[in-house]
């Protein structure tokens, strides 16, 4: 028998790739942090002797979810200002709170809260955009979680940097610092077309080409944004980004609720990715991303929650369900965005957008063992006819029992192993008192 690190026996394995595959009574063999084998459980028991053997007889094993758009530290602003349109929410509530409170301590404690919440909900990788990304990188790495950290750029000064050049210099320093960390990657993160000027956009386009780094940006989030861009620049935001050479396989366009057919064709031609945040878009009444049209055009669409200040959670199971249901309503077609596509958007499509599809996003031999186990034995999940559909339409994140990143067991039987939940709560409550005092 071959000696390995971990052998996980599941009732089902849903690898995501190949599409719509559901393997019954299968096991996953893990060695040196990577998937060594996926095979029927009876053969696995005969072939492998593992240091750790786990029986998950009522569970589905699937790749860890990828939250492709977050503002992790904003967990500390969950519920701070609800039921407001985007610009009122930003200008009158969020930006003033950030100017008063955001610093390394705020980002550390908010990111810690976000990592704990995401891990418990089956998220193994997140793509973040916020100030002090080096702090979030440290928190994620210590927790054992995979993270893509945005090298934030914005025109106005903050506690983090005074101008676009300083933002970029600090981001590039983070990139160099984390170059050898297998859990941390970096992307350029210009906030939005209305907060980043032409000079900074042009420099980012140049650096993206030189460094082969993705670009993560809010684009076409609201009708107001698009109308204002036409007034200020004489063109829609996507056309402006095209002029700067930012459209291409490296672009992650977040939200995209305001799209013309010719813009969808432009995204498809440039092989750009779209990050869909359905619940945040609904809550802020930003509009509807035409997901089925994007998929029909061959565009890679991934899922994100946005920050907890505008969602108000980091629940990717909820996001999958909302995305699938909303797509059907927008398309007027009950067959739009079926369950297997929604799951793919929350896993492999996110990895592809981040340039990590060779390492994570699906359960394949040689990829990192980023795995979650979801318990499907319960009143709310049975009877069970189609495990894959059940994951999208019936399962809540509370059904996640186990989470591994690179073979490391970060959630064991619903308990965090690398983060102290009492510490997270103490920090969150202390920040609540500070932010309430300001209000």
**Local confidence band at 431 (pLDDT 50, 70, 90 cut-offs):** very high
Q: What is the pLDDT of residue 439?
A: 59
- Does residue 301 lie in a domain region? yes
Token code pair at residue 264? 């969808």
CATH for 382: 2.30.40.10
Instruction: Report pTM.
Output: 0.97
DSSP string for 42-101: HHHHHHEEEEEEEEEEEEEEEEPEEEEEE-GGGGGGTTSS-S--HHHHIIIIIHHHHHHH
Same domain (yes/no): 12, 113: no
CATH for 169: 3.20.20.140
CB atoms within 10 A of CB 272: 25
Alpha carbon distances (Å) from 54 to 13, 31, 120, 402 = 14, 14, 18, 10
- Does residue 362 lie in a domain region? no
Angle at alpha carbon of residue 141, lines to 140 and 144, rounded to 5°: 90
- Of 406, 415, 320, the C-alpha closest to 371 is 406
Query: Average pLDDT of 407-431?
Result: 98
Residue 285 pLDDT more than 70? yes
Same domain (yes/no): 57, 92: no
- When mean pLDDT is compared across 80-94, 146-160, 228-242, 342-356, the lowest value belongs to 80-94
φ, ψ of residue 364 in degrees (nearest 5)? -140, 145
- Does residue 55 lie in a domain region? yes
Helix orientation angle between 198-211 and 164-177, rounded to the nearest 10 degrees: 20
The Cα–Cα gap between 291 and 331 comes to 8
Same domain (yes/no): 98, 149: yes
Token code pair at residue 184? 């941390």
Q: What is the pLDDT of residue 437?
A: 81
- Does residue 102 lie in a domain region? yes
Same domain (yes/no): 294, 339: yes
Same domain (yes/no): 76, 134: yes
Domain range for residue 25?
A: 2-63+371-405
Same domain (yes/no): 236, 115: yes
Same domain (yes/no): 58, 184: no
pLDDT digits (tens, 9 = 90+) for 161-194: 999 999 999 999 999 999 999 999 999 999 999 9
């Amino acid at each position: 028998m071959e000696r390995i690190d971990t052998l996980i026996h599941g009732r089902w394995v849903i690898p995501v790739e190949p599409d719509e595959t559901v393997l019954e009574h299968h096991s996953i063999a893990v060695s040196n942090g990577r998937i060594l084998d996926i095979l029927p459980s009876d053969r696995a028991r005969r072939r492998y002797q593992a240091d750790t053997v786990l029986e998950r007889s009522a569970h589905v094993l699937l790749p860890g979810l990828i939250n492709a758009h977050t503002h992790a530290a904003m967990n500390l602003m969950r519920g701070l200002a609800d039921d407001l349109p985007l610009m009122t929410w930003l200008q009158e509530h969020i930006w003033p709170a950030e100017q008063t409170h955001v610093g390394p301590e705020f980002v550390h404690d908010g990111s810690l809260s976000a990592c704990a919440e995401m891990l418990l909900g089956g998220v193994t990788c997140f793509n973040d955009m916020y100030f002090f990304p080096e702090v979030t990188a440290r928190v994620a790495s210590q927790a054992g979680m995979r993270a893509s950290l945005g090298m934030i750029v914005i025109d106005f000064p903050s506690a983090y940097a005074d101008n676009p050049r300083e933002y970029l210099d600090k981001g590039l320093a983070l990139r160099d610092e984390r170059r050898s960390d297998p859990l941390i990657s970096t992307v350029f993160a210009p906030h939005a077309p209305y907060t980043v000027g032409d000079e900074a956009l042009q420099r980012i386009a140049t650096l993206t080409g030189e460094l082969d780094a993705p670009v993560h940006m809010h684009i076409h989030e609201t009708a107001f944004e698009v109308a204002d861009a036409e007034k200020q620049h004489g063109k829609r935001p996507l056309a402006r980004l095209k002029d700067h050479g930012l459209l291409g396989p490296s672009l992650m366009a977040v939200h995209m609720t305001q799209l013309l057919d010719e813009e969808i064709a432009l995204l498809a031609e440039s092989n750009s990715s779209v990050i869909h945040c359905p619940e945040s878009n609904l809550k802020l009444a930003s509009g509807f991303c035409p997901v089925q049209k994007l998929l029909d055009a061959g565009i890679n669409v991934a899922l994100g929650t946005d920050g907890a200040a505008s969602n108000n959670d980091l629940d990717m199971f909820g996001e999958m369900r909302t995305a699938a249901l909303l797509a059907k309503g927008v398309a007027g077609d009950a067959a739009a965005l079926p369950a297997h596509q929604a799951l793919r958007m929350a896993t492999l499509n996110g990895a592809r957008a981040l340039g990590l599809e060779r390492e994570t996003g699906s359960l394949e031999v040689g990829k990192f063992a980023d795995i979650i186990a979801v318990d499907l034995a319960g009143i709310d999940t049975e009877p069970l006819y189609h495990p894959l559909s059940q994951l999208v339409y019936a399962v809540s994140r509370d059904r996640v029992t186990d989470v591994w990143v690179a073979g490391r067991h970060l959630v064991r039987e619903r308990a965090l192993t690398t983060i102290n939940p009492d510490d997270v709560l103490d920090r969150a409550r202390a920040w609540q008192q500070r932010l309430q005092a300001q209000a």
